[in-house]
Amino acid sequence: MTIQSSILILDDGELENVHRMRLRLGANVVRFVGPEIGESVPAPRDLRISAGRRTLQNMPSLAGCDDDAQSPIWVCVHNQDFLPMRERLCELGVHYLLLNALDEPSRERF
């Protein structure tokens, strides 16, 4: 039996600061980076955090998450903000968009 993490981070290296912050706060977090990310990854209980480029280009499915009712909150951390991108991320199911330039104390709140 595998233990489900609370938080899942998916990126290509650009969310190291987010990962360190979550660990510092004592969160139960699992992070997959670049080639570690397969076609499917274990679903977290509470929160999925992904980088903007990863989200738009190659997002894996969540294993153990059969419907939207079980889906964790999804936060996409991105470096650009323009309406077509926001609309595309919302279509993919992202709940919140977070600008990577946001200061660390503010990012700790998500």
Residue 61 lies in a domain: yes
Residue 1 lies in a domain: no
Residue 25 lies in a domain: yes
Write the single-letter amino acid at 43. Answer: A
Which residues, 6+ apart, have CB-to-CB distance to 12 below 8 Å?
33, 34, 51, 53, 54
Range of the domain at 43: 7-107
> What's the CATH number where 28 sits?
3.40.50.2300
| pLDDT reported for residue 82 | 73
Burial of 2 (0-12, 13-18, 19+ CB in 10 A): exposed
In terms of DSSP H, where are the helices of the chain?
Answer: 16-24, 52-57, 83-92, 104-107
Low-confidence residues of the chain, pLDDT below 50? 1
42 to 4, 39, 73, 76, 91: CA distances (angstroms): 7, 11, 14, 18, 22
| pLDDT reported for residue 68 | 62
Residue 94 lies in a domain: yes
| pLDDT reported for residue 1 | 46
Residue 57 lies in a domain: yes
Residue 12 lies in a domain: yes
| pTM score over 0.75 | yes
Domain count, the chain: 1
| pLDDT reported for residue 4 | 85
